[in-house]
Chain A
Amino acid sequence: AQSVAQPEDQVNVAEGNPLTVKCTYSVSGNPYLFWYVQYPNRGLQFLLKYITGDNLVKGSYGFEAEFNKSQTSFHLKKPSALVSDSALYFCAVRDPVGAAGNKLTFGGGTRVLVKP
């Protein structure tokens, strides 16, 4: 079965400092990995995904993520955080093999608080 772990419930960072949100995964095959962001009372907004190719993926709003197969990680990063980045971030995995590939399995989420 596929699973995702986001080890930090909350990340606090000062505006202008680098932001990292951690994610590790477990799947039986090569994973498809996704990051979404959720603002209060809103649905999930897609940020970026890794399917294959370059391990460093660039996405929306200046975010990027690095796929590390040996560490089974897909950490989300932003070089300089903004107050408006304060939100709930979800990592998700999809196993492309078999029926499990038809759904996303999400982590528990990490709340990011960027202080001015």
Chain B
Amino acid sequence: DTGVSQNPRHKITKRGQNVTFRCDPISEHNRLYWYRQTLGQGPEFLTYFQNEAQLEKSRLLSDRFSAERPKGSFSTLEIQRTEQGDSAMYLCASSLVSSGGPTDTQYFGPGTRLTVL
């Protein structure tokens, strides 16, 4: 059994470049979340998917950010025209949601650390 995986683990890019991260959730999980964590802070919610549908986006997710989960399995997070302020750890989490309400536990991947020079 494997947990949530994320690739790449580290990404260094120059300001203005586009980057894409991938997240593979736990196989039977129907929800997938993206969070951002800056140094010394707790993770902040960015967006989440229920199967392939993107149901909520945080105001933190500017127009330069886009996320997809095309087949309800893996997800990608793309940042266009990166800025130095985008430097952070990007965390993915997945969970299995039943009809009983939001009692699911989110399991996190190891994260992708982005450094924008």
B-binding residues in A (CB < 8 A): 4, 32, 34, 36, 41-46, 49, 51, 90, 92, 94, 96, 99, 101-109
Contact = CB atoms under 8 A, between A and B. Distances in A.
Contacts, number: 62
B41 A108 contact: yes
B26 interface: no
B101 interface: yes
Interface string B58-94: 1000000000000000000000000000000001010
B4 A43 contact: yes
Nearest to A111: B40
B21 interface: no
Contacts of A109: 40-42
A43 B101 contact: no
Given A43-B111, A45-B108, A101 B101 contact: yes
B44 A106 contact: yes
Contacts of B45: 103-105
B106 interface: yes
B16 to A, nearest CB: 27
